[in-house]
């Protein structure tokens, strides 16, 4: 099983700042099959990035994903008030889908 580690658990920013979130895999994620999801309190997760770098439908271009192998990054270029949330990474290569523990992006 591929274990995904997201650290730190919480990041604090002011609106307008650039946020960089990390997701590290215990072994290489084949085909860069890694996704990022945004989750707000009381809501279901929402797909943000798939294939490590492709934005999902309706996701603004301030969101970008990068990385390959075992190290992946989600970048929010300029935080808007609605971006403060928890972000989860997920690998969907094999043998079983696994998630990281999540990173909360909070207002400083």
Partner 1 sequence: EVQLVESGGGLVQPGGSLRLSCTASGFSFSSYAMIWVRQAQGKGLECVSYISASSSTIDYADSVKGRFTISRDNAKNSLYLQMSNLRAEDTAMYYCAKRGPAGSMDVWGKGTTVTVSS
Stretches 15-23, 37-45, 60-68, 72-80: which one binds partner 1 (CB under 8 A)? Answer: 37-45
Asked whether the beta carbons of 12 and 108 are under 8 A apart, the reply is yes
Q: Which of 22, 11, 9, 21 is nearest to 101 (CA)?
A: 9
Least CB distance to partner 1 at residue 88 (A) = 5
Tokens 């043998």, located at residue: 95
Task: Decide if residue 105 touches partner 1 (CB under 8 A).
Answer: no
The two structure tokens encoding residue 75? 């970048």
Least CB distance to partner 1 at residue 15 (A) = 25
Task: Decide if residue 45 touches partner 1 (CB under 8 A).
Answer: yes
Task: Decide if residue 16 touches partner 1 (CB under 8 A).
Answer: no
**Quick check: helix, strand or coil at residue 82?**
helix
């Amino acid at each position: 099983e591929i274990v995904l580690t997201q650290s730190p658990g919480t990041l604090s920013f002011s609106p307008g700042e650039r946020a960089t979130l990390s997701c590290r895999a215990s072994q290489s994620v084949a085909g860069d099959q890694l996704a990022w999801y945004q989750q707000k309190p009381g809501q279901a997760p929402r797909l943000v990035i798939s294939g490590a770098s492709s934005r999902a439908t309706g996701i603004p271009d301030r969101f970008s994903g990068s990385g390959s192998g075992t190290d992946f990054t989600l970048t929010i270029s300029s935080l808007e008030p609605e971006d403060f949330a928890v972000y989860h990474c997920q690998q969907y290569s094999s043998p079983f889908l696994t998630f990281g523990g999540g990173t909360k992006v909070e207002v400083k």
